[in-house]
Amino acid sequence: MNFDEKASQWDLNPDRRQRARAVAEAIRRQIPLHPNLSALEYGCGTGLLSFELRNDLAQILLADRSTGMLDVLREKIAAAQASNLFPIQLDLLSDPLPTQRFDLIYSLMTLHHILDTARILSLFWQLLKAGGYLCIADLDREDGSFHKEPFEGHLGFDRQALAKLTTAVGL
């Protein structure tokens, strides 16, 4: 899937904006957010979710491997003068791990694009401070109809299986 090409039109889709708002609300309900906490958003795209949460947290590192998504994100950060949002081009599966550790890691609609789920969860675990929180919002198991174009990732996840895997890697 070519996210570079999709980036300039990404935020025009109201479903994506609504999903980010709903997931931000769910995170607020379940995690004691605090303006002292540091967070990592993994697979941030244009930053829809972190823009919703930026006033609830001290600073957020927004990581994505797509240059196009990060270009749009940088423009949005500059326009909003969002001084606590820090974009970074990062693919944890091939790049060195950042040295920073986080109170909270969240990821929206990215996990199903990553084939080795156990590995990415294990890397999240390494990046979390002790007692930190991981929030994953992604597709429930589906029949392949979600992606309208050829797709090689996961057809969603079984929630219980994903929770079990999360525990198995140490979280």
Ligand X SMILES: C[S@@+](CC[C@H](N)C(=O)[O-])C[C@H]1O[C@@H](n2cnc3c(N)ncnc32)[C@H](O)[C@@H]1O
Residues that bind ligand X (CB under 6 A): 3, 16, 20, 43-45, 48-49, 64-66, 69, 91, 93, 108-110, 113-114
Shortest Å distance, C-beta 56 to ligand X: 17
Beta bridge partners of 77: none
Residues 158 and 97: their CA atoms lie apart, in Å, by: 28
Shortest Å distance, C-beta 35 to ligand X: 23
Shortest Å distance, C-beta 135 to ligand X: 12
Residues 31 and 134: their CA atoms lie apart, in Å, by: 10
Beta bridge partners of 11: none
Identify whether the C-beta of residue 112 lies closer than 8 Å to the C-beta of residue 157.
Answer: yes
Beta carbon nearer to ligand X, 107 or 166: 107
Identify whether the C-beta of residue 90 lies closer than 8 Å to the C-beta of residue 67.
Answer: no
Beta carbon nearer to ligand X, 113 or 154: 113
Beta carbon nearer to ligand X, 131 or 152: 152
**Which residue number places its CB atom closest to ligand X?**
45
Cα–Cα separations (whole angstroms), residue 89 to 4, 15, 74, 96: 13, 25, 11, 12
Beta carbon nearer to ligand X, 37 or 69: 69
Helix (H) or strand (E) holding 62: strand 59-64
Shortest Å distance, C-beta 29 to ligand X: 19
Shortest Å distance, C-beta 129 to ligand X: 21
Neighbours of 171 (CB within 10 A): 16
Residues 31 and 20: their CA atoms lie apart, in Å, by: 16
Beta carbon nearer to ligand X, 48 or 104: 48
